Amino acid sequence: MKIGIVCYPTFGGSGVVATELGMALADKGHEVHFITYNQPVRLDFISHRLHFHEVVLEEYPLFEYQPYELALSSKMVEIVQKYQLEVLHVHYAIPHAYAAYMAKKMLLDKGINVKVVTTLHGTDITLVGSHPTYKTAVEFSINKSDEVTAVSQSLKDDTLRLFNIEKDIKVVYNFIDGQKYAKAQNDECKRSALAQEHERILTHISNFRPVKRTDDVIKIFHKVQKKIPSKLLMVGDGPERLKAENLVKELKLEDKVLFMGNSNEVAKILCYTDVFLLPSKTESFGLAALEAMAAGTAVISTNSGGLPEVNIDGVTGFLSDVGDVEDMAKNAVHILKSDAVLNEFKMNAKEHTRLFSLDTILPQYESIYKKCYTVIV
Ligand code: GMT
């Protein structure tokens, strides 16, 4: 099929999922066109079936805010026509689902019936989308999509609770390409570059937004390192990074915490990791946790949103209430204190990711594309 993918091109989870999906679809023989304002960070041009079309914004003195939705919907119309795309798959409802609806209407005027699939990712529903500023337009564009998916049952439930939804929402979980992680494990995994032989390694990866509670990551680690010799890797960047760095100084942890910035080498970093920390306030799924588990890492997380669908309490890691750093530290110490316990959790974590393999999830998206394309309006 010929598929247009619209997403945020950044390190956020929705952009990562969209990009990995697009690359996998192209690998399977589909023609995939990314339409966004920058080349997605995880996009490597591995196949001639992958294209990227930049949405360019024109400066004009009258615009305090540039009308991105307008530029995006015009670009969608142009690309659908030029490459005869059959489906537009938009990731993150704001403003992509709304722009896609506009593009669909403009194309219908020209006798072209492109189908719109909207994937809800999390904060587009739970934090931003349900805010009165956006709610009406988000609800409208979800209801006008041909197909709607959510990345967890919890996000589906939240969507039905927060909006007046007339469409059926299908749960299609986030996925991982297990082979990529297997490869990183086999490639030289130089743990000694980051920690001494007797030290454990804990890792946090996020975009350092307030919802990730990066201060809790530092507080948990502060407690853990008093009992277990260890290092903490903080991967990513965002608004809370400075605050987290200051807390590290305040707690005199500078020689034990390494801030690594954004990275495209997540699989390599995770190969060093023993325990992954994700104490988020809310998390529709927790792709970062799934990636960590695929690399054979136990997960200490909160029990919010879709995290219990990914991290199984007492099996792949532990779940605690939001803000309960004491409990999260206690659980981390329990996992880290013996090699036998740690190895069991690591093995369970890796095993559990089979449910979320690319081979399982990709056909679910393909059948959604096919289904909406064969429905006659
Ligand atoms: O929170 C982020 O890191 C980014 C955000 C996004 O939409 O870009 O992530 C959301 O989508 C991911 C992919 O589906 C999910 O794995 C994350 O759980 C979700 N984040 C939140 O719900 C806070």
125-139 pLDDT, tens per residue?
988 877 889 999 999
376 in any annotated domain: no
Compute, in angstroms, the gap from residue 230 CA to the centroid of ligand 1: 28
Structure tokens at 110: 């020209």
Output the pLDDT for position 377.
47
Question: For residues 206 and 214, is the Cβ–Cβ distance under 8 A?
Answer: yes
Q: Is there a domain that residue 377 lies in?
A: no
349 shares a domain with 364: no
Residue 298 domain flag: yes
Q: Which of 264, 246, 268 is nearest to 181 (CA)?
A: 268
User: How much distance in Å is there from the Cα of 211 to the middle of ligand 1?
Assistant: 10
346: pLDDT strictly greater than 80: yes
**Centroid of ligand 1 to alpha carbon of 285 (angstroms):** 7
- Residue located nearest, by CA, to atom 9 of ligand 1: 13
CA-nearest residue for atom 14, ligand 1, is 121
Q: What is the pLDDT of residue 230?
A: 97
- Burial-class residue 157 by CB neighbours within 10 Å (0-12, 13-18, 19+): middle
From 6, 8, 14, mutation site for ligand 1 pocket: most ligand atoms within 8 A of C-beta: 14
Give me the mean pLDDT over the 34-54 stretch: 88
Looking from the CA of residue 122, the nearest atom of ligand 1 is: 22
Mean of the per-residue pLDDT values of the chain: 94
User: Is the pLDDT reported for residue 55 higher than 50?
Assistant: yes
Say how many Å lie between the CA of residue 151 and the centre of ligand 1: 9
What's the domain range around 33? 2-175+357-371
Both 161 and 212 in a single domain? Answer: no
Q: How far is CA 176 from the centre of its chain?
A: 11
Same domain, 203 and 162: no
Average the pLDDT over each of 11-20, 87-96, 312-321 and give the range with the smallest value.
11-20
Q: How confident is the model at residue 84 (pLDDT cuts 50, 70, 90)?
A: very high
- Best probe residue, ligand 1, of 41, 121, 173 (max atoms within 8 Å of C-beta): 121
First-residue to last-residue Cα distance in the chain:
19
Which atom number of ligand 1 is nearest to the Cα of residue 280? Answer: 23
Residue with the bigger pLDDT between 171 and 268: it is 171
User: Can you give the pLDDT at residue 358?
Assistant: 95
Total domains in the chain come to 2
Test site for ligand 1: of 127, 287, 301, most ligand atoms within 8 A of the Cβ: 287
Q: Are residues 70 and 128 in the same domain?
A: yes
Kindly give the number of the ligand 1 atom that is closest to the alpha carbon of 290: 16
| Residues 240 and 350 occupy one common structural domain | yes
Centre of ligand 1 from the C-alpha of residue 228, in Å: 31
Whether residue 347 is found in the same domain as residue 363: no
Segment 241-246 shows an average pLDDT of 98
Residue 62 lies in a domain: yes
**Hey, how many other C-beta atoms are within 10 angstroms of the C-beta on 214?**
27
User: Looking at the structure, do residues 132 and 190 belong to the same domain, yes or no?
Assistant: no
Ligand 1 atom with minimal separation from the 126 CA: 22
**In terms of domains, do 223 and 309 share one?**
yes
Cα of 252 vs centre of ligand 1, distance in Å, is: 31
User: CA 38 to CA 8: how far, in whole Å?
Assistant: 8
Confidence of residue 353 (pLDDT cuts 50, 70, 90): very high
Q: Which of 261-268's residues contact partners 24+ apart within 8 Å by CB, and which partners?
A: 261/235, 261/236, 261/237, 262/11, 262/41, 262/235, 262/236, 262/237, 263/235, 263/236, 264/41, 264/42, 266/205, 266/235, 266/291, 267/180, 267/181, 267/183, 267/184, 267/291, 267/295, 268/184, 268/187, 268/189
Q: Is 174 in contact with 290 (CB distance < 8 Å)?
A: yes
Shared domain for 202 and 346, answered yes or no, is yes
CA distance 102 to 92: 16
Bridge-based pairing of strands 257-261 and 275-278 is: unpaired
Look up residue 175 and give its two tokens. 């996925």
- Ligand 1 centre distance from Cα of residue 334 (Å): 28
- Residues 58-85 have a mean pLDDT of 94
Distances (CA, A) of 197 to 100, 190, 235, 326, 343: 53, 11, 22, 27, 16
Nearest to 13 by CA among 207, 180, 211, 273: 207
Q: Is the dihedral of CA 263, 268, 272, 277 positive or negative?
A: positive
Mark whether 158 and 239 lie in a shared domain: no
Give the CATH number, domain containing residue 190.
3.40.50.2000
CA–centroid distance, 288 to ligand 1, in Å, is 9
Alpha carbon distance 357, 147 (integer Å)? 22
Domain check: are 197 and 307 in the same one?
Answer: yes
Q: Closest Cα partner for 235 from 257, 210, 213?
A: 257
Ligand 1, residues at Cβ distance < 6 Å = 12-15, 17, 92, 121-123, 151, 174, 206-207, 211, 282-287
326 within some domain? yes
**Bridge-based pairing state of the strands 147-150 and 169-171:** parallel
Structure confidence at residue 60 as a pLDDT band (50, 70, 90): confident
State mean pLDDT over 69-87. 97
Cα–ligand 1 centroid distance for 245 (angstroms) = 23
The per-residue pLDDT for range 163-218, each reduced to its tens digit, is 999 999 999 999 998 887 776 666 667 788 788 889 999 999 999 999 999 999 99
**In this structure, are 253 and 136 located in the same domain?**
no
User: Which of 174, 278, 284, 356 should be mutated for ligand 1, with most atoms under 8 A from CB?
Assistant: 284
C-alpha–C-alpha distance, residues 335 and 341, integer Å = 6
